[in-house]
Each structure stands twice: as structure tokens, then as C-alpha cells.
Amino acid sequence: MIILGPAGTGGDSLKGIQFIHDKGLGAVEIEFTYGVRMSNELAKECGDLAKKLGMRISIHAPYYVNLASHEKAKIEASKKRILESCERGHFLGAKYIVFHAGFYMKHSKEECYSIIKKEILEIQREIKKRGWKVILAPETTGKKSQFGDLDELLRLKKETDCHLCIDFAHLKARDQKIDYQKVFDKLKNAGINYIHAHFSGIEYSDKGERRHILTKDSDIKELLEWIKKSKIDATIINESPDPLGDSLKSKKILERL
């Protein structure tokens, strides 16, 4: 099964969830881009509505996260933002908490991996302690300076039991191409039969992602065909400048396949 939806509710969270559902979409990602600015009370209201409507809710934690910073204070602030997102996610009934884990900076790739793994294990211990029913999903990133290629996140999933968010546009920007056969073979070999994914058009350079752009019909069709061919269940969150419009376009293309 493939479930589609936009990044963001368009303002009013309650009205947005209802509107997205009424448009025939089955998911929405709540964006805490610049900070967690939703009360637990509102999160509970939104979660109750989403459950009633059968909507899948996920969260994107703030962008100001770097679990591999050289400054301990920045790591602690990053963990606090992720945990605040997890708390709201618990009340929202969100399953996955998506975030960009960090930057390589002056670390080697292996050093960066070890640091981020340690911090994720600590965050998971806190989630368990507080009884929150959420799962961390670090995201594949679009810049070569960022931690988060597919191999790193699959290894992280295996060693910490977190999940991952596969941003197909970021994979394309990172490598300046995307080999879907290779990607889905890796997922199959890792025993993954469900993916939480992001998608959009993307503009990039040799350093990786520049910005998200509108999603081409042909790109949507190619991704949906690969997911269907691979027999993987998926939630696809569109992150283009028009996430609702591109999600509805994706829905029409999916219905034709």
C-alpha cells in the first residue's frame, strides 16, 4: 500500500488535517521546522482527529540539529529539540520522528557515525523512560557535508533499531543521480518492507542539494513504479514548494498505474 500526503498542514493544524483528508490524501507530516511550537493539548486534539479520519501523522523535527557537533551544548540542544518533537509526536499519535542527524564537520565518516549512534541510543533510552510511542527516523540527506547516506542509515537502523526516512530527492542530489534498482536491493537485503519517504523535485550541484522544486510527473511515476515493483509499503510525504498540489498530482498518477 502507498499512502500519500504533504509536508505541513498549511497553517491551522486541525483545519489542515481535515482539509488534507477531504482531498483524498492519507498522510501529513507536521513540520516543526524552526521550533516545536505546538502545545501537548493541541497535539492531542490533532491526534484524535487524525485517528478518527484514519490519517497517518509523522513529524519533522527542527532543522537546528547536529548530533555530531564539536560543542557539547549544541549536541544537548539538538537532543532537546528531538525529544520535544517526540513528546508532541506521542500526543499526536505520530509514529515516526524525522530529523537530519548531523554534519561530518572535521570528523571522519566513521567517527561521525559513532558519535551519532551514541546520541541516538541515549535519546531512545529517554523515549522509553517516558513511555512515548514514537520511533526515531533519521533522514537521508542531500548535501555531501551532512551525515546520512543510505548505507549509514541502514547500518544505524541495524545497530540501534531506529527506523529511517528515505528522501529520494536527497539521494539524487547527493549522488547527482539515483539508481532505484540499487536502492531497493539494499532495502530488500536489510529486510525492510515498509518505508517512510520524502519526495520532491530537486535542484543540486556537485556539492549536493540546493533547493527543492516542483515534482515532475515523470519522476513521480518512476518512483511509484519502483515501489510497486518492489512490493514495499510506503508513506510518501511531498516536500516541494507546493506539497499539497504535488501530493494530489501523485495520487492521480498512482491511480492510473
CA distance 51 to 59: 15
**Sign of CA pseudo-dihedral 81, 194, 253, 17:** negative
Q: Tell me: the pLDDT tens digits for 213-234? A: 999 999 999 999 999 999 999 9
Q: What is the DSSP string of 200-242?
A: -EEEEETTEEEEEEPPPHHHHHHHHHHHHHHT-EEEEEE-SSS
Alpha carbon of residue 163 to chain centroid: 10
For residue 139, the domain's CATH number is: 3.20.20.150
Q: Tell me: the pLDDT tens digits for 75-126? A: 999 999 999 999 999 999 999 999 999 999 999 999 999 999 999 999 999 9
> Given this model, what pLDDT does residue 33 score?
87
With a CB cutoff of 8 Å and minimum separation 6, the contacts of 11 are none
CA distance 45 to 172: 37
> What per-residue string of b and e applies to 160-188 under the rule 16 or more CB within 10 Å gives b?
bebbbbbbbbbbbbbbeebebeebbeebe
Closest by alpha carbon to 23, among 40, 36, 6, 1? 6
Q: Tell me: the pLDDT tens digits for 117-129? A: 999 999 999 999 9
* Number of folded domains that form the chain: 1
CA distance 208 to 5: 25
> Given this model, what pLDDT does residue 213 score?
94
Q: Find the domain containing 82 and state its range.
A: 2-256
> Given this model, what pLDDT does residue 8 score?
94
> Given this model, what pLDDT does residue 206 score?
83
CA distance 81 to 162: 17
Cell digits of residue 198: 520524502
Show the CA angle centred on residue 44, arms to residues 38 and 49, nearest 5°. 110
What backbone torsions phi and psi does residue 37 show, to the nearest 5 degrees? -120, 40
CA distance 25 to 218: 20
What average pLDDT does this structure show over 146-155? 96
- Is residue 11's pLDDT more than 90? no
* Residue spans of alpha helices (H) in the chain: 13-22, 40-53, 72-92, 109-130, 150-160, 168-175, 180-189, 217-230, 243-256
With a CB cutoff of 8 Å and minimum separation 6, the contacts of 246 are 6, 200, 214, 215, 220, 238, 240
Yes or no: say if 243 and 197 are a contact pair by the CB < 8 Å rule.
no
- Is residue 10's pLDDT more than 90? no
